[in-house]
Amino acid sequence: MKFRSDPGRIRGSIAPVVTPFAEDGSVDHASLRSLIRFQLESGSHGISLGGSTGEPAAQTAAERIAAMRTAAGEIADRVPFLPGTGSHKLDETLEITEAARALGADAALVITPYYARPTQEGLYQWYAAVAREFPDLPLVIYNVPSRTAVDIAPETVRRLFGDFENIVGIKETTKDFEHFSRVLHLCGRSLLVWSGIELLCLPLLALGGAGFVSAVANLAPGAVARMYELWEEGAFDAARDLHYRLHPLVDLLFTETNPAPAKWVLHQQGRIASPRVRPPLAPLTPAGTARIRTLLAEGGDLTRQLREATP
């Protein structure tokens, strides 16, 4: 939790790690530890767990908390830990967020409540309730309207950011790039904004974003981290080159519903014991597998590039 007191240091590529499952359907903690080590060895600037890529809605609160405990133990404060703690139920969100706080998470990523389609006032009251409960824990709003059927408005973000010191940022997983700009314009550059849309990760940095929480970091963590570093170094052409080289892997991730493609690749590489996803997700189809093999032939070299871990 050494980054909790200064959340402005949570920048760069925050890898949203998949939750591996064993063949019997249980959470595979040994594979999870292996994935965390892979991320640290590859130079990812932080670790997230329990966002959309982690299949949180298919797990119990106890399973999610146990996975956070495993991840926190492996990370051991070497990089920021930003677990996803939200659900569609407020009591469950508070339970998981409290566990993250106790485990030493540096910040909590709280998704907009899904299915209910609350109003903007409802969203404000939801985040206000979480913020009041955990005044000592930095909170990051997680806006992903494609999965929640609700979009938190820039004006609501500004209201929350102004009213609660512990609401420090937002992960924007929307293809509406104007939304990124309007949030930063209303809140100012002190708001930490991360992109959850792979092909908007690099463009967000030009607006003053803090980095990205990109699912492609599961497959090419070194390349994704290096893209951020190159931009920060002013090597803009080299950063753009990596952005375009990552295109095939981005397409691979969404050949079928994320994270099934990523898990298939990680299993093929021997990084997890099983490619299993939980219902309602399904294993890859033969057509999806064939398409993934083609895309790996185009961009797979980036999956084999390791870098020294971030100190």
Active-site residues, by number, are: 142, 171
- Count of alpha carbons within 13 Å of 181, Cβ hemisphere only? 8
Q: Among residues 77, 111, 80, 69, which one has the least CA distance to residue 15?
A: 80
Q: How far apart are CA 196 and CA 215, in angstroms?
A: 8
Peptide bond into 280 cis (omega under 30): yes
DSSP assignment of 148-197 = HS----HHHHHHHHHH-TTEEEEEE--S-HHHHHHHHHHH-TTSEEEE-S
Which residues are CB-neighbours of 72 under 8 A, at least 6 positions away? 81, 103, 104, 105
* Alpha-carbon radius of gyration of the chain: 18
Alpha carbon distance 130, 164 (integer Å)? 10
Measured in degrees and rounded to the nearest 5, phi and psi for residue 209 equal -65, 160
Handedness of CA 29, 305, 2, 204 (dihedral sign): negative
Q: Within a 13 Å sphere around the CA of 275, how many CA atoms are in the beta-carbon half? A: 18
Question: What are the distances in angstroms from CA 125 to CA 12, 51, 109, 120, 307?
Answer: 30, 21, 17, 9, 43
Beta strands in 18-132 (DSSP E): 46-49, 108-111
